[in-house]
Amino acid sequence: MRIWDIKPQILCRQHLLGEHRELHALWTILSNDKKGYRNHPETKRWVGKLNALHSRHEALVQEMKNRGYTHHTPLDKTNLDDLGKQDQFVHSIEEQMEILRKKGCDCKV
């Protein structure tokens, strides 16, 4: 599971759509207090930060629309709880860029 902290415009199709899918899974875990993946580092860093996660979702959706993709899965904002900023990282921005470089995909890194 990974939610990137870099601009969605940088992501290739695979990573953009993959992050969107994983963000929905993470949203379900956190907003419904599910146990699966609860101890995953990526999950832990978003606890108490649903506003920030919602903002990331909206940024992903905007980029998807910019690329001509359709979006039919809005998030339920009923449980928004907290800070609108994510300031905890599993990997730094620089490390995330390096991870993408090593994947050899079409991400613009």
- Give a yes or no: residue 36 inside a domain: yes
- Give a yes or no: residue 2 inside a domain: no
**pTM of structure:** 0.94
Q: Which domain holds residue 97?
A: 8-103
Using CA atoms, how far apart are residues 53 and 46, in angstroms rounded to an integer? 7
pLDDT digits 0-9 by tens, 48-106: 999 999 999 999 999 999 999 999 999 998 867 776 789 999 999 999 999 999 999 99
- Give a yes or no: residue 1 inside a domain: no
| pLDDT at site 89 | 95
- Give a yes or no: residue 99 inside a domain: yes
The conformation of residue 106, written as its DSSP 8-state character, comes to S
| Domain tally, the chain | 1
Residues, the chain: 109
Report the run of H or E that residue 26 belongs to, with start and end: helix 13-31
- Give a yes or no: residue 108 inside a domain: no
- Give a yes or no: residue 3 inside a domain: no
Whether 75 and 58 have beta carbons less than 8 Å apart is answered as no
- Give a yes or no: residue 54 inside a domain: yes
pLDDT band at 36 (very low <50, low <70, confident <90, very high): confident
- Give a yes or no: residue 44 inside a domain: yes
State the amino acid at position 39 in one-letter form.
Answer: N
| pLDDT at site 1 | 81
